[in-house]
Structure 1
Amino acid sequence: MAIYNLGSINADLLYSVPHLPRPGETLAATGFRRGLGGKGANMSVAAARGAAHVVHIGAVGPDGRWARDLLTEYGVDTRHISVVDDVTGHAIILLDPAGENTIVINPGANHAMTEDQIGLALSEASPGDILLMQNETTHQAFCAKTGSDLGLRVIYAAAPFDAEAVRALLPVMDMLVLNAVEADQLQQALGMAPDALGVSDVIVTLGADGCRWFHAETGQVRDFPALPVTPVDTTGAGDTFTGYLLAGLDRGQPMEQAIGLATKAAALMVTRIGTADVIPDLLEIQQMTQPR
């Protein structure tokens, strides 16, 4: 089994600031670091560190070969990451001492992929494989329809949120992952609650309150608590949750067990500063839960 991820690849430019700036305010940063990021890259790394075989479908510019090399180093299959004539996507992240952040994204090469590239990658997939997408790339509808026709399990992480992007994928979507704010926005836009979307599984992440699982087949709605930790950086926590959730499902875990694994991974992630580079591996999560 494998996870195919049509996903963004960014250079994360992280600035530590005394507080998030107000309109018109100029701040001096107290620290700076560059790391690998992008919701797609984060999820690929998380799933790979969760012991899944992950094939990333994406693009970088000539300035971003380092990002592709890092993904390879982190265990991701990068054969379908193209180098295109555009700048690599990047995100400017402002992080305050409480771990809250503000992010501005320039998509760059993430919007330069082609349907031919996507189709070539998916031609290698097998029925039952997972197809993951977020909203930082293009050609999502084509990718989802192609994946569905091939018998893949289509999963959409609805961020950055766009109600029309979700609406376009609903007919072929098997699972939807979104946070509480996005769930409210989607309900306002479509007039339907998560359990009325016609999607087999909907996961709503609730930050420090854990997550809620809506299972259409049984009508079950179940809450899962978060692990109590002291956060230092919430960047990438949701991506880590999603990547580990799918890694668990890819390995045949039932949903409850996969959510438990993902919850632990996200809890450990928020105790670290950074994104893809600091996503915990499976051994760290297992050691975290062992009795002392």
Structure 2
Amino acid sequence: MAIYNLGSINTDWFYKVTRFPVNGETLAALQCRSGLGGKGANQSVAAARAGSVVHHVGAVGGEGVWAVEQMKSMGVDVTHVSIEIAAPTGHAMIFVTPDGENRIVIYPGTNRMIDDGDVKAALAKVAQGDTLLMQNETNAQLLAARKARKRGMRVVYLAAPFDLTAVREVLGYVDLLILKPGEAEQIAAALAVEVTALPVPELVVVDAVKGATWYDLKSGETLKVSAPSVEALDTTGARDTFAGFFCALRDQGSPIAECMELAIAAAALKATKDGTSEAIPALKDVRCFLEGISETT
């Protein structure tokens, strides 16, 4: 099996600040650095580090070739990442406070310029049972979801950044929906149903700092896991890490309980490090992390 990720690729600019600025205020940053990010790239890297075969479908500008090369070095197949010379790569400005919380402004750039033909070409030779992973930082989501469903793929949608219209557009093609707690309540209210009655086979509600709950909305089965207690330095990309790990482990046939435990641990471990994709741990490191916790309890 393999994972095909229609996902964003960003240049992330991180600014360490003592606190978030208020309206009209200029605040000096304590530190500035850049790196590979974007929810799509983060999830592809996470899934690859969890041991799955990952094909990324996306686009960068001419100045973003370094990002493609970095993804490749992290084990992600980038055959279906196009280079749009006439437009800039997506980028994000991320403000991080000492407690690890963040506020983010993104510019989509080439992430919203992915060619329909490139998506069709990427999904032309998938195998039944492969996974299509998507987020809400690209265009072509509906096209990809329809193609994936026709080819017997499992469709996973991390509804972030959350947009009710975007969620409703693809919902009928989604097998697994991943949401924050507040987002789950919003979509349920919009559809006038309970969260446990959303029209998808599976739902995961995740707070990368506190934990996650998996729902089988057909059988009514649920499974809740708590996040390991860590000292967070930067929570940017933690939920992306969860999604990538969870999809990878499901793709590999692991039991739900193991998928949940390892995915939430990976998210917690990521939060202990600065950065986004470069801070995502490998599966062996997550297992060691959990073994260390069990030895101290």
What's the TM-score once normalised by structure 2's chain length? Answer: 0.96
- CA distance in 1 between counterparts of 2:209 and 2:290 reads 18
Task: Please state how far the C-alpha of 1:82 moved relative to its aligned partner.
Answer: 0.1
Task: Please state how far the C-alpha of 1:289 moved relative to its aligned partner.
Answer: 2.2
- 1:273 lines up with 2:240 in the alignment: no
- CA distance in 2 between counterparts of 1:226 and 1:48 reads 22
The aligned residue for residue 100 of structure 1 is 101
1:97/1:232 contact within 8 Å kept: yes
The aligned residue for residue 231 of structure 2 is 230
The residue type paired with residue 234 of structure 2 is D
The aligned residue for residue 20 of structure 1 is 20
The aligned residue for residue 198 of structure 1 is 199
The residue type paired with residue 220 of structure 2 is G
- Structure 1, unaligned stretches of length 5 or more? none
CA distances 1:46-103 after superposition (whole Å, capped 9, x unpaired) = 0000000000000000010000000000000000000012100000000011111110
1:206/1:212 contact within 8 Å kept: no
Task: Please state how far the C-alpha of 1:207 moved relative to its aligned partner.
Answer: 3.6
The residue type paired with residue 80 of structure 1 is H
- 1:57 lines up with 2:57 in the alignment: yes
**Which range is displaced more, 74-83 or 206-215?**
206-215
Alignment of 1:52-201 (within 5 A): 52-84=52-84, 85-201=86-202
Task: Please state how far the C-alpha of 1:194 moved relative to its aligned partner.
Answer: 2.6
- CA distance in 2 between counterparts of 1:195 and 1:98 reads 33
2:127/2:153 contact within 8 Å kept: yes
The residue type paired with residue 159 of structure 2 is A
- CA distance in 1 between counterparts of 2:286 and 2:214 reads 22
The residue type paired with residue 37 of structure 1 is G
Task: Please state how far the C-alpha of 1:222 moved relative to its aligned partner.
Answer: 2.6
* Superposition RMSD in Å: 1.0
Give the secondary structure class of the aligned counterpart of 1:218.
coil
- CA distance in 1 between counterparts of 2:283 and 2:3 reads 17
1:60/1:87 contact within 8 Å kept: yes
1:13/1:35 contact within 8 Å kept: yes
CA distances 1:27-46 after superposition (whole Å, capped 9, x unpaired) = 00000110100000000000
The aligned residue for residue 7 of structure 2 is 7
- CA distance in 1 between counterparts of 2:79 and 2:208 reads 34
CA distances 1:184-217 after superposition (whole Å, capped 9, x unpaired) = 2222322223321121110000343211111122
- 1:34 lines up with 2:16 in the alignment: no
**Which range is displaced more, 210-219 or 6-15?**
210-219
Percent identical: 45
- CA distance in 2 between counterparts of 1:236 and 1:206 reads 12
**Which range is displaced more, 145-154 or 197-206?**
197-206
Give the secondary structure class of the aligned counterpart of 2:278.
helix
2:185/2:195 contact within 8 Å kept: no
- CA distance in 2 between counterparts of 1:193 and 1:14 reads 38
Task: Please state how far the C-alpha of 1:290 moved relative to its aligned partner.
Answer: 2.4
- CA distance in 2 between counterparts of 1:110 and 1:12 reads 14
What's the TM-score once normalised by structure 1's chain length? Answer: 0.98
CA distances 1:152-206 after superposition (whole Å, capped 9, x unpaired) = 0011000000111111112111000011121122223222233211211100003
The residue type paired with residue 68 of structure 1 is V
The residue type paired with residue 231 of structure 2 is T
The aligned residue for residue 263 of structure 1 is 264
1:194/1:214 contact within 8 Å kept: no
